[in-house]
Amino acid sequence: MVVLFVLIALAVVGLLAGVHWYLWRRLVRDTTAPGGLARRAGTVAAFVLPLTTFGALIAGRAGAPFALQRALAWPGYLWLALVLYLTLALLVGEVLRPVLLRVAPSGGEEGTDGTSAVAGAVRPIDAPIDAPIDAPGVPQGPGTSGAPVVSGTPGAADGVLSTPESLGTANVPGGPGASDVPGTPGALTAAGAPGASAAPGHPGPSSAPGAFAAPAASETPAASGGPDVPGRSGTSVTPATAGTPAAPGHLGSPGGAPSIPGSPETPAASDAPTTPGAGAAERGGARRLFVARAIALGATAVAVGTVGYGAATVLRGPRVKRVTVPLAKLPRRAHGFRIAVVSDIHLGPILGRAHTQRVVEAINRTNPDLIAVVGDLVDGSVADLGPAAEPLRGLRARHGSFFVTGNHEYFSGARQWVDHVRELGLRPLENERTELPGFDLAGVNDIAGEDEGEGPDFGRALGDRDRSRASVLLAHQPVVIHDAVDHGVDLQLSGHTHGGQMWPGDLVAALANPTVAGLERYGDTQLYVTRGAGAWGPPVRVGAPPDVTVVELASRHA
């Protein structure tokens, strides 16, 4: 038995570890840069938050101070709920991911190197010189990579950028003996012709890497008023302006020529190799990053919203449900008898005195004939939770309030709690019954008490009664319905399941319980299961709102 328990524990730990690794991968690794602050913070959270959950689960049973239990309970249990809905949302995202990768825009998002992936965008000035620019309308000559280049030919002025934005003059070779003529702002710099003079303030012909110039220039009509250059009819020539230093990593490549849209000729002047498909690869990476972040953000929003809604549902208190149950043996005088059924209040480090007060007020507003508290009142000792249970003194019903133990009482000191609720004005039914006008009311201990020799005893509670009278049984867990059928019980009132508490928990609860919530019939016995008024673990309910049920008994003779 011990080996089986250890194997189950290891399987659960392994499952939780795998789930948390998956969450870290999708929410942190796939969406953040290595070594960045976000990556480090997400990784720390992926370790710390599960530890708070583990601490919240074991703190009470380990006898930790109640203040520590409360400090661990809120983050630990809320994270447990978030893990559930984050995982479900991300699994839905896995189905959508291939579709999103196809339809997501190829541009507009930020690339992995921090630059824009929009087609036609120009790289920033400090981009690597060998990085391609995929700009529409820019001729991509052999070796040019589609970018402005740096001239290393003789006669080029050192450090002169061969772009209109960075130049105010142009040095155009005019053949042997060509003279330098003052230029106009915005002209391009061309160099490399024999005999071309250097820019003022620079040495003669230079081939140093980093000089920004073009090896040749096309002939264009001279600007109005500009001087003609001998030997170059109709060509405007101006000297280059010196003093513009070349910065490492600026656009261009040594020996390249500027790519000018609309120019009749764009000579291939760069020998720098290009990387085929580099732009497409970058856009593909940017698209994957965009989709990963979109799915992570969407999953987080859904999970946080769901958990927030579920927590608000619990903290608002239970709503009142009403159900009518006809009993064949119920006499006419008992027709309309109302029993307020409440279960699974779960006072503990999260739900305290204010929660008890909300439950008591909801019950008293129904003005019941009898109140039945069917187990799992507490998750802690009388010493820690006695003050939280104090509002139960205010319960009011014409035929009194009754209590049976649930499995959580046996985790919290059942004998002490049975004595304490008696002090609060509730009558415990420990495998016993009482006669009420029109029917018998019986109660049995929870099956968890078997380990302490205090399990349910149906023979003691129901064995010697008059079966001609209608009977109502209080039993925490629905699984004892078959014992109730064997003992001729007309109606069993139970809790325990929480209705699943958090969807899809109802599917799991259905595997272990004959009825998860509501009224069902088993032979001649009817079983009603309330969803309970509180919550265990995460103070969250999704798809299973808390309730107090008013069961109205109906006589067929009425």
User: Average pLDDT for residues 88-107, to the nearest whole number?
Assistant: 90
Residue 271: exposure state from Cβ atoms within 10 A (0-12, 13-18, ≥19): exposed
What letter represents residue 30's amino acid?
Answer: D
In the chain, count H helices and then E strands: 10, 14
More confident position, 303 or 198: 303
User: Which 8-state DSSP code applies to residue 107?
Assistant: S
d(CA 343, CA 346) in angstroms, rounded, equals: 9
Is a pLDDT exceeding 90 seen at residue 218?
Answer: no
Which two tokens mark 184? 């106009």
Stated as kind and residue range, the H or E segment containing 94 is: helix 66-103
Share of residues in the chain with pLDDT > 70 (%)? 69
d(CA 444, CA 460) in angstroms, rounded, equals: 9
d(CA 173, CA 229) in angstroms, rounded, equals: 10
User: Which 8-state DSSP code applies to residue 28?
Assistant: I
Which of 322, 350, 347 lies closest to 336 in space, CA to CA? 322
Judged by DSSP in three states, 551 sits in strand
> Could you tell me the pLDDT band of residue 423, with boundaries at 50, 70 and 90?
very high
Q: What is the dihedral of CA 472, 476, 477, 480, to 10 degrees?
A: -40
> Which residues, 6 or more positions from 68, have their beta carbon under 8 angstroms from its beta carbon?
59
Window from 28-37, 43-52, 174-183, 274-283 with minimum mean pLDDT? 174-183
d(CA 470, CA 294) in angstroms, rounded, equals: 60
d(CA 31, CA 443) in angstroms, rounded, equals: 56
d(CA 327, CA 335) in angstroms, rounded, equals: 9
For 383, half-sphere exposure in the C-beta direction (CA atoms, 13 angstrom radius) is: 7
Is a pLDDT exceeding 80 seen at residue 335?
Answer: yes
d(CA 494, CA 530) in angstroms, rounded, equals: 6
> Could you tell me the pLDDT band of residue 215, with boundaries at 50, 70 and 90?
very low
Is a pLDDT exceeding 80 seen at residue 441?
Answer: yes
Each residue of 425-434: pLDDT tens digit? 999 999 999 9
d(CA 416, CA 188) in angstroms, rounded, equals: 95
> Could you tell me the pLDDT band of residue 414, with boundaries at 50, 70 and 90?
very high
User: Average pLDDT for residues 403-413, to the nearest whole number?
Assistant: 95
Is a pLDDT exceeding 90 seen at residue 399?
Answer: yes
Edge-to-edge strands, sheet with 491-494 = 432-436, 439-443, 470-474, 491-494, 525-529, 518-522
Window from 201-205, 356-360, 497-501 with minimum mean pLDDT? 201-205
Residue 177: exposure state from Cβ atoms within 10 A (0-12, 13-18, ≥19): exposed
> Could you tell me the pLDDT band of residue 282, with boundaries at 50, 70 and 90?
confident
Window from 187-201, 317-331, 470-484 with minimum mean pLDDT? 187-201
Which two tokens mark 467? 């079966």
What letter represents residue 184's amino acid?
Answer: T
> What is the β-pairing status of strands 525-529 and 491-494?
parallel
Window from 106-115, 231-240, 383-392, 527-536 with minimum mean pLDDT? 231-240
pLDDT at 274: 52
> Could you tell me the pLDDT band of residue 58, with boundaries at 50, 70 and 90?
very high
> Could you tell me the pLDDT band of residue 285, with boundaries at 50, 70 and 90?
confident
